[in-house]
Amino acid sequence: MTLDYPSILFFLALNNLFIMALFIYQYFYHHKQWYLLLVALGITLQTSAIILYGNRDVLPPLLTLRLNNFFLVACFALTSFGLISFDGKVRKKLLRLFIVSGLLFYAAILLFEDNFTIISIIRIVSCSFFYAIGAFYLFVNKRKYKFSILLSGVLLLYSLFQLFRAFKVFQLGESYVFLQNSTFNNWFLIISILVISSISIGFIMLLKEIDQKTILRKNKIIEQDKRKLEALHQTQNKLFSIIAHDLRSPFINILGLSDILMDNVKKSADPESEKCTELINTTAKNTLNLLDNLLNWAKSQTGELGFSPEKIQLSEVIQEIIGLKMANAKSKNISLKYSPSNDIELITDKNILGTILRNLIANAIKFTNYGGHIEVVTSANGQQVEISINDNGVGMTAETIRKIFDLSTNVTLPGTANENGSGLGLVLCKEFVEKLNGKLWVESEVGKGSNFKFTLPLATVDPPK
């Protein structure tokens, strides 16, 4: 079988250009790994060697020969090192071995550049040497990828073939002519094209196999994390249940007992005892309010806060909350008023609305001076109702207004009677108003008080997810 060698070299160069494009595409659109560029560079050098050989009659013979041999030795080293670096590791000792070996092979070629047969043998042995190292490292990789073993087998067979070819060239001696029409040279070209194509396709498949295993490994980790999160979620629900029942119940009992105690102390007309009893009662109420806020906020964050709309009279809800907060207002001699202009009926969640009003009124009492006043005002306009809690307390700066609805800033200013707070109440109010498809804002001026306003739709709508 004979071949048209210019045509087969052109086909080999064309095949190499396709492989270079494939590796560059993989680099920019898939893996972005340096070893892809290394293999592409190795194939580029081999293509350059083919082009130089094809133009050997045009360029200076000695320069062509030296460049051609340098490109080929570098091609074998770069391609092999790129293939064995598929796991992303830079094997520095092996890199030094490749550099030193490549320089030694090229130095030997320069030393015997007058003997074409010896040059061919050195070049062939260098190819066998570098590919054999590549075959070894691909085979011993601890993860044992299928395509790394297949690549290892291809490289090993090609390395052995190159040794056999070097032996045949040595036997032919001076009679050997590169690309001479012979069965041996024909098989060399055919096998070389097949090996280059097989290595390139096999390497891309190896990268796909690595990607698949990485995805499987990440999916297992995600599944494990999912199970852990489910376990944590169950633990969290159990904790909330314990807090809501076993911790909240004693506070309710303390409040009931302190109310009874207050009545008895008032009858005894002992101012000191009455003051202590009121303190116990107020502390218990504040702590229970904080506990309720924590539970409600936790439910809101986990999506477990129920939404149960019902038809309610707004004035009844407000008066109920004011009744609960009246004792706190009286303790600071604060006037807490609500004068409903008309009966406003709306459909919303009564418990969530009560939590909003309770926190906003408690906040107004906290930051209103002794002898101050607080007024709750409602008005219906079109499809919504506006509720405002207006006080003549200490007021706020624009910077404070910006922070009070953000839990991460943790604004916890003391009240006018040095009352403590968690900073959670207003954050909770904002989230709850938005859950009811409303809007909450505040108008305030330092020294003149604050006016917290929020709107709610009159008709029920589904809460935002």
Judge whether 215 lies within some domain: yes
Q: Are residues 88 and 181 in the same domain?
A: yes
Phi, psi of 176 (to 5 degrees): -75, 130
Judge whether 231 lies within some domain: no
Q: Is 409 or 370 the better-scoring residue by pLDDT?
A: 370
pLDDT over 50 at 97, yes or no:
yes
Largest Cα–Cα distance of the chain, in whole Å? 130
Judge whether 31 lies within some domain: yes
pLDDT tens profile 126-180? 999 999 999 998 888 877 788 888 888 989 998 998 898 888 888 877 766 665 5
Give the residue from 205, 223, 241 where a domain finishes.
223
Q: Find where tokens 């809690």 sit.
A: 389
Judge whether 56 lies within some domain: yes
Cβ neighbourhood burial of 295 (10 Å; 0-12, 13-18, 19+):
middle
Q: Are residues 311 and 164 in the same domain?
A: no
Give the residue from 223, 251, 283 where a domain finishes.
223
Q: Are residues 212 and 342 in the same domain?
A: no
Give the residue from 168, 194, 223 where a domain finishes.
223
Confidence of residue 453 (pLDDT cuts 50, 70, 90): very high
Q: Give the CATH number for residue 341.
A: 3.30.565.10
Confidence of residue 1 (pLDDT cuts 50, 70, 90): very low
- How far is it, in rounded angstroms, from Cα 127 to Cα 315? 92
Q: Are residues 163 and 69 in the same domain?
A: yes
Q: Are residues 10 and 124 in the same domain?
A: yes
Q: Are residues 332 and 451 in the same domain?
A: yes
Work out how many domains the chain is built from and give that number: 2
Judge whether 210 lies within some domain: yes
Judge whether 288 lies within some domain: no
Confidence of residue 456 (pLDDT cuts 50, 70, 90): very high
- The boundaries of the domain holding residue 432 are 306-457
Q: Which of 205-214, 303-312, 410-419 has the largest mean confidence? A: 205-214
3-state secondary structure of 380: strand
Q: Is 203 or 377 the better-scoring residue by pLDDT?
A: 377
- Rounded to the nearest integer, the mean pLDDT of the chain is 81
Give the pLDDT mean for 235-263: 67
Query: Long-range contacts for 377-382 (Cβ within 8 Å, ≥24 apart)?
Result: 377/338, 378/314, 378/315, 378/318, 378/340, 378/341, 378/344, 379/341, 380/342, 380/344, 380/458
Judge whether 203 lies within some domain: yes
Query: Closest by alpha carbon to 305, among 346, 347, 350, 352?
Result: 352
Span of 3-17, 142-156, 335-349, 378-392 with lowest mean pLDDT:
3-17
Q: Are residues 56 and 200 in the same domain?
A: yes
pLDDT over 80 at 192, yes or no:
no
pLDDT tens profile 21-34? 888 888 787 778 88
Query: Closest by alpha carbon to 364, among 386, 339, 347, 389?
Result: 389
Judge whether 200 lies within some domain: yes
Angle 409-414-415 (CA atoms, 0-180°, nearest 5)? 125
pLDDT tens profile 396-407? 888 888 888 876
Q: Are residues 195 and 56 in the same domain?
A: yes
